[in-house]
Structure 1
Amino acid sequence: MKLASKLMAAVTIFTVSCLFADAARAESKPNFLIVLADDCTHNDLPVYGGRNAKTPNLDRLASQGLVFDRAFLAEAICQPCRAELYSGLYPMSNGCAWNHSASRSDIRSMPQHLGAEGYRVGLAGKVHVQPRQAFPFESVDGFDKNCVRDPTQPHRLQSALEFMTRDAEPFCLVIALVEPHVPWVMGDASQYPPKSIELPPNIADTPETRRAFGRYLAEITYMDSQVGEILEALDSVGHSDDTLVLFSSEQGSQFPGNKWTNYNTGVHTALIARFPNVVPAGRRTDALVQYADVLPTMMEMAELPYERDAFDGQSFAGVLKGQLNEHRDYVYGVHNNVPEGPSYPVRSISDGKYHYIRNLTNENLYIEKHLMGIKGDGKLNNKYWQTWVYNSFDNPNAYRLIQRYMRRPAEELYDLEADPYEMNNLAGQAGLAEVRSSLSAELERWMKGQGDPGAEQDTVESLQAARQDRHRFGPAND
């Protein structure tokens, strides 16, 4: 063969090889990397208007991706919100409607849905969902699983790197961090001098509160540094461009009115998405989304077959791709207080602008034992609440916030655009009677469809039945 012919043949082979490689890339499925904070109030982050915390890595991620301004979870408690995220099902449907309980053993979650289509699905860090057969994630080492350890164990990225590069199959990796969950012991609190902190209006101003808030902010910054290292690791193995990255802050922090409540600072979560050349960079969206929507969205982004009836949520892939700026009409909220304190069931609904909350047994006092009480040496209980009580005589604002937390009306209605901290209850305003009535009716419809009995769900009997996989209520029990 002449030299010219050999060169032509080589060029032809190279060209065909490139075409096959391009075709393979076009047919390849995206990877998924989900990074979760733990108990981080969304609007304490600068990307959502927070005025204290330093989060350069999350700020950078936001500049590279799409920020959701109206993302919610159904229950502002660690285990229920994770069960919703991983299953695409609301608390009543998946069975986990309390903390320290269990989902239904026969549900399918991320590992089954994605695993059936060739994905490796792993979880590093905090697990806090059960039973195992419902959430069979591959365990990935390197991040502390214990959210109350003091101090948090040093993290290592080797196992995550190995998981992301193990073989040619696409991966889904959840890294569930344990900051800024209490105890607030990580990071450098000296970066946040108490007197320089600007407290949110739903938190009473006392010296002890300021010290605690500074420690909490230090943990946010520590969490942000971990996010930065995780994203650098993803880039180091060449997967930044073929991976959909999702960051979420989970529910609100352990301050009164955030975690363990249906208030906006409890159920509203941060959600940032990055996928180069697919998700528009440096943009925000007002699309209303919920944790139950995430798994069907992942299925659609990977072009995987699934039955829409398998999920309570709906895919917002069109929003991710910049094709739509609207998604759902309503997001829904649940709170069952057992075993965190005496029964105090709450249900809620929002259309993105108005937030309607129904306190089903408002004749009772609301009590959350971890936040308001002390056990043993009090290592996991911050003392700021006691200073609110002590100062309530000569601190009218502290007294008002104590009342807001413990003694609530039967109905609450808030304008989230004008009042994101929900300090002004509009439920009694005649001009908003139609809004209140409409949201109330839709909440009733949703509860009925979920098989939610309301107060009877927030009982020791219902919790114990769930732990034994004998769930008393829910869509399957109608």
Structure 2
Amino acid sequence: MRLTLLTGLLLSLLGSGFVGFIQQPPAAAKPNVIIVMADDLDSRQLSCYGGRNLRTTHIDALAAEGLKFNHIYASEAMCVPTRASLFTGLYPVRHGSFQNHKPVYNDLKSVGHYLADLGYRVGLTGKDHSTKPKTVFPFEIVSGFEPNCVAATDDYTLDGVKEYMTRDSKPYCLFVMSINPHTPWTVGDTTEFDADKLVLPSYCVDTKLTRRQFVKYLAEVRRLDNQVGDITRLLKETGQDKNTIVIFLGEQGAQFPGAKWNLYDAGQKSSMLVRWPGTVKPRTQTDALVQYEDITPTLIDLAGGKPVAGLDGKSFLPVLRGQSQQARDFTYGIHNNIPEGNPYPIRSIRDTRYKLILNLTPDSEYYNRFMMNASAQRRDGNSVWFSWIDRAESDPQAKRITDRFVKRPAVEFYDTQTDPSEFRNLANDSTQQNRIRHYRQKLEAWMKQQGDTGAALDITYAKKPD
């Protein structure tokens, strides 16, 4: 009798809809993802990465609320290859954009496909390099941020971004691609900075022109920081901050000699901050080694997808979850100098401490048309290079920096832990020869696996029609 009564009571409760105590909780919604990417950022200017020239308040807030990566590298320190690697999960030789402004191959898939297959909307606002062809990069282009990186202004509005974020309940991944601090360094408030008090990067020669230009550069870093603040405030205002992963990326280094368009750390070494409420511990940092090619596989992983066969990158989701301190053993670098200068192919490999650079045409001199104007009539232009050359006539350190930039040995090997500026080449150090051989074998094996023919790759290619 009692059993019958209990059964009846249970059925009655079920029929009335009172089932909360036996229902399974609903599955957690997939997280949204906002990726804010800088353009030509010297990441060591960020105060959360040790910069002393300005306090990057809003970027620092992401570091305080999330995980800071100390070892993230661009495989090619220029805009188009880096972005193509970010979107495809492939190294430059395999995605085809292994020279600046060289298009990717037409038969590829990208993050736009992979996340759409997992139920995401995938959008992009701002700098639109590496968004063509649409068959490879099926982004929804969102209005708001300036798409042209050499525009004299970077006026932006958040209206389109807000509409995209709040359109429906479907999860989204939005790339916010700032054009700061890319040249021409014409936006931002320069009055914040005193040129005479700046702490210049070690790769720079200290001249008045360098300091004047660096003030303009820092003003755009401030502008970038404010944009990050606007995006994070918008997330909070719309109530999406709790279920949105925010990733900040620094891209490659600044357009000063020795940084961008090179394989020194001033060009290759980047920054990444990840805020993921409830998953990533605040105020943490990691020495896990990652590259831009690893980001798309990680996005696929956190969205619940399976690894995509054939990608060069690998997911570092275990690092984000605090389950691992390691992601990969080595990162690799490639530089092809055409169309920005003469043929000057370079390759590199590094771990968290040691770095090997191979200059494949060491008998040539390095030249870059944006920083080393060929015409003496342009000595008074924006380029700081000739002020460095003039200083080198009387300053041994300036001569060392300029000589190192133009004339390079076949092999460079650095201990970046004791020599972060990469000024002491250990290629002929007898105690390093076994290590150099090991790194060289790894690098050459990677080149072979990629189909990288080395110097033969740095040539002029026929333009592909739009």
Settle same-fold status: TM greater than 0.5: yes
* Partner in structure 2 of residue 140 of structure 1: 142
* Partner in structure 1 of residue 462 of structure 2: 464
In the TM superposition, what are the counterparts of 1:338-417 in structure 2 within 5 Å? 338-373=338-373, 382-417=382-417
Report the aligned-residue RMSD. 2.3
Superimposed CA distance per residue, residues 76-97 of structure 1 (whole angstroms, 9 cap, x where no aligned partner): 0000000000000000111110
What is the TM-score when the length of structure 2 is the normalising length? 0.93
State the Cα distance separating 1:468 from its structure 2 match: 5.9
* Partner in structure 1 of residue 5 of structure 2: none
Letter in 2 for 1:192: F
State the Cα distance separating 1:376 from its structure 2 match: 13
State the Cα distance separating 1:147 from its structure 2 match: 0.8
Letter in 1 for 2:20: V
State the Cα distance separating 1:150 from its structure 2 match: 0.9
Cα 1:228–1:13 shift into 2, 3 Å: farther
Cα 1:334–1:233 shift into 2, 3 Å: same
CA distance in 2, matches of 1:215, 1:393: 27
The structure whose Rg is larger is 2
Cα 1:380–1:439 shift into 2, 3 Å: farther
Q: Determine if the alignment matches structure 1 residue 16 to structure 2 residue 20.
A: yes
- Is the 1:330–1:350 contact (alpha carbons within 8 Å) kept by the matching residues of 2? yes
Letter in 2 for 1:193: D
Q: Determine if the alignment matches structure 1 residue 315 to structure 2 residue 318.
A: no
- Is the 1:370–1:381 contact (alpha carbons within 8 Å) kept by the matching residues of 2? no
Worse-superposed segment, 375-384 or 167-176: 375-384
Task: Give SS of 1:224's match.
Answer: helix
State the Cα distance separating 1:228 from its structure 2 match: 0.4
CA distance in 1, matches of 2:180, 2:379: 16
In the TM superposition, what are the counterparts of 1:222-233 in structure 2 within 5 Å? 222-233=223-234
* Partner in structure 2 of residue 324 of structure 1: 324
Task: Give SS of 1:23's match.
Answer: coil
CA distance in 1, matches of 2:179, 2:287: 28
* Partner in structure 2 of residue 171 of structure 1: 172
* Partner in structure 1 of residue 272 of structure 2: 271
* Partner in structure 2 of residue 219 of structure 1: 220
Superimposed CA distance per residue, residues 59-88 of structure 1 (whole angstroms, 9 cap, x where no aligned partner): 111000000000111100000000000000
State the Cα distance separating 1:373 from its structure 2 match: 1.4
Cα 1:380–1:284 shift into 2, 3 Å: farther
State the Cα distance separating 1:132 from its structure 2 match: 2.4
CA distance in 1, matches of 2:423, 2:379: 31
CA distance in 1, matches of 2:267, 2:442: 21
Cα 1:346–1:198 shift into 2, 3 Å: same
Letter in 2 for 1:23: P
CA distance in 1, matches of 2:381, 2:440: 36
* Partner in structure 2 of residue 285 of structure 1: 286
State the Cα distance separating 1:379 from its structure 2 match: 12
- Is the 1:148–1:380 contact (alpha carbons within 8 Å) kept by the matching residues of 2? no
Superimposed CA distance per residue, residues 148-199 of structure 1 (whole angstroms, 9 cap, x where no aligned partner): 11122x1101111111111121100000000000011111111111100011
* Partner in structure 1 of residue 4 of structure 2: none
Letter in 1 for 2:259: N
Superimposed CA distance per residue, residues 333-372 of structure 1 (whole angstroms, 9 cap, x where no aligned partner): 0000000011000000001110110000011010010111
What is the TM-score when the length of structure 1 is the normalising length? 0.91
Q: Name the structure with the higher helix share.
A: 1
Letter in 2 for 1:70: H
CA distance in 2, matches of 1:68, 1:345: 28
CA distance in 2, matches of 1:464, 1:346: 22
Cα 1:49–1:19 shift into 2, 3 Å: farther
Task: Give SS of 1:81's match.
Answer: helix
Cα 1:78–1:18 shift into 2, 3 Å: farther
CA distance in 1, matches of 2:296, 2:380: 33
Task: Give SS of 1:105's match.
Answer: coil
Letter in 2 for 1:150: A
CA distance in 1, matches of 2:380, 2:330: 35
- Is the 1:355–1:416 contact (alpha carbons within 8 Å) kept by the matching residues of 2? yes
Superimposed CA distance per residue, residues 423-455 of structure 1 (whole angstroms, 9 cap, x where no aligned partner): 111111111111111111000000000000000
Letter in 1 for 2:195: P
- Is the 2:332–2:348 contact (alpha carbons within 8 Å) kept by the matching residues of 1? yes
* Partner in structure 2 of residue 436 of structure 1: 436
Worse-superposed segment, 244-253 or 51-60: 51-60
In the TM superposition, what are the counterparts of 1:101-250 in structure 2 within 5 Å? 101-129=102-130, 130-152=132-154, 154-250=155-251
Cα 1:316–1:340 shift into 2, 3 Å: same
Number of residues of Structure 1 aligned to a counterpart in Structure 2:
455
Cα 1:87–1:279 shift into 2, 3 Å: same
Superimposed CA distance per residue, residues 4-57 of structure 1 (whole angstroms, 9 cap, x where no aligned partner): x9xx979x757639967x414x2x211111000000012121111111132000
Cα 1:17–1:180 shift into 2, 3 Å: farther
- Is the 2:58–2:225 contact (alpha carbons within 8 Å) kept by the matching residues of 1? yes
Superimposed CA distance per residue, residues 355-396 of structure 1 (whole angstroms, 9 cap, x where no aligned partner): 110000011010010111179997996231121112221122
CA distance in 1, matches of 2:374, 2:150: 15
Q: Determine if the alignment matches structure 1 residue 98 to structure 2 residue 102.
A: no
- Is the 1:336–1:346 contact (alpha carbons within 8 Å) kept by the matching residues of 2? yes
Letter in 2 for 1:131: P
Task: Give SS of 1:401's match.
Answer: helix
CA distance in 1, matches of 2:205, 2:260: 16
Q: Determine if the alignment matches structure 1 residue 72 to structure 2 residue 70.
A: no
CA distance in 1, matches of 2:347, 2:54: 31
Unaligned runs of 5+ in 1: 470-478
Cα 1:306–1:208 shift into 2, 3 Å: same
CA distance in 2, matches of 1:343, 1:264: 21
Superimposed CA distance per residue, residues 445-474 of structure 1 (whole angstroms, 9 cap, x where no aligned partner): 0000000000011000xx327x369xxxxx
- Is the 1:183–1:379 contact (alpha carbons within 8 Å) kept by the matching residues of 2? no
Worse-superposed segment, 414-423 or 367-376: 367-376
* Partner in structure 2 of residue 52 of structure 1: 53
CA distance in 1, matches of 2:439, 2:191: 45
Cα 1:67–1:345 shift into 2, 3 Å: same
CA distance in 2, matches of 1:18, 1:120: 34
Task: Give SS of 1:214's match.
Answer: helix
Letter in 2 for 1:323: Q
